[in-house]
Amino acid sequence: MWQPGEGRSAWVEGALRAATAALAGTVKLSPADAERFRLLAGKIERYPPGALVNALAPTPTAKWIISGWLCQMRILPDARRQIFGFLLPGDIAPSHPPSGGNFPSLLALTRLECVDVSQMLETAALERERSLVHAAVAATLKIIEERKYDHIVRLGQHTAAERVVSLLLELRDRLAPLDLVHKETFRAPLTQEHLADALGLSLVHVHRTLKTLRAKGLLELRLGRVTLLKPAKLREIAAEGVAAI
């Protein structure tokens, strides 16, 4: 197990606490369990932006994200790309066999710090700790799966503006528990091309859509910084995706 004083920076410690809080929120851990979970994190793995996480691992292993963003995506034979979703700190990135079946690859969008879940399981001494980890992984997978349904609705039923808005709102709501949203402003390491690939739109059209939203004074998006100027109005735009049954 990791021992205090082994040189983990204060910054990483802070990120670890934030990730723990976020995970505890989504997975509904008691404060005690959250603390238990956090202490299982030993070696921190790092990946540079652009890295394909898990691309080389012989065995698929889930990663608990401490800081940084990554996306689940697939490259098509004609070089088009579909992004299935984004993973943020606190999430546990599902690990699929590298190039296994039709499962997505994991691409780091920023520098990434994460903890290998199988390492956490090895660290866990008590049965109680192991089942805690398993439960957290299962619960996260379920939430990620749930988001995928929303994404399908986005792609299948929404207009360009609705797609952009509902995705940005999803990100806002996921970043809020990490305390990364201040005054409806947050950083997102997304280029317009990322948005296009996620939303099934062309880069040019994403840009035009953002331009319109900006012109209407609904939001700002520059330099990886998003500001939702009229959150209520934006929620209204995205509301079509909510389930009625």
List of residues contacting a copy of itself (CB under 8 A): 52, 74-80, 82, 84, 99, 101-105, 145-146, 148-153, 155-157, 198-200, 239-245
For the CB of residue 213, give the shortest distance to a copy of itself in the complex, in Å: 21
* Cβ(8)–Cβ(47) below 8 Å: no
**Residue in this structure with the two tokens 């990135």, named with its chain if needed:** 93
For the CB of residue 29, give the shortest distance to DNA in the complex, in Å: 36
Q: How far apart are CA 221 and CA 223, in angstroms?
A: 7
Give the closest residue to 92 by CA, choosing from 72, 117, 68: 117
List all residues 6 or more positions away from 233 whose beta carbon is below 8 Å from its beta carbon: 218
List the single partner that 210 binds among a copy of itself, DNA, none, CB under 5 to 8 Å by kind: DNA
Compute the Cα dihedral for 204, 205, 211, 214 and give only its sign: negative
Contact flag: residue 213 with DNA (CB under 7 A):
no
Helix (H, G, I), strand (E, B) or coil at 169: helix
For the CB of residue 186, give the shortest distance to a copy of itself in the complex, in Å: 22
Contact flag: residue 152 with DNA (CB under 7 A):
no
Residue placing its CB nearer to DNA in the complex, 45 or 220: 220
For the CB of residue 75, give the shortest distance to a copy of itself in the complex, in Å: 4
For the CB of residue 52, give the shortest distance to a copy of itself in the complex, in Å: 8
Question: Could you say which DSSP state residue 44 is in?
Answer: P
Give the closest residue to 47 by CA, choosing from 106, 99, 130, 102: 106
Applying CB under 7 A, which of residues 95, 105, 166, 192 lies at the interface with DNA? 192
Contact flag: residue 99 with DNA (CB under 7 A):
no
Residue placing its CB nearer to DNA in the complex, 26 or 110: 110
Q: How far apart are CA 242 and CA 245, in angstroms?
A: 9
Tokens of 199: 């939303």
In the β-sheet with 92-93, what is the strand arrangement from edge to edge? 45-47, 112-116, 63-67, 92-93
Q: How far apart are CA 226 and CA 38, in angstroms?
A: 30
Applying CB under 7 A, which of residues 136, 160, 168, 219 lies at the interface with DNA? 160
Contact flag: residue 183 with DNA (CB under 7 A):
no
List the single partner that 104 binds among a copy of itself, DNA, none, CB under 5 to 8 Å by kind: a copy of itself
Applying CB under 7 A, which of residues 32, 222, 243, 245 lies at the interface with DNA? 222
Counting residues that bind DNA (by CB under 7 A) gives 19
For the CB of residue 95, give the shortest distance to a copy of itself in the complex, in Å: 13
Binding stretches for DNA (CB under 7 A): 159-161, 191-193, 200-205, 207-211, 222-223
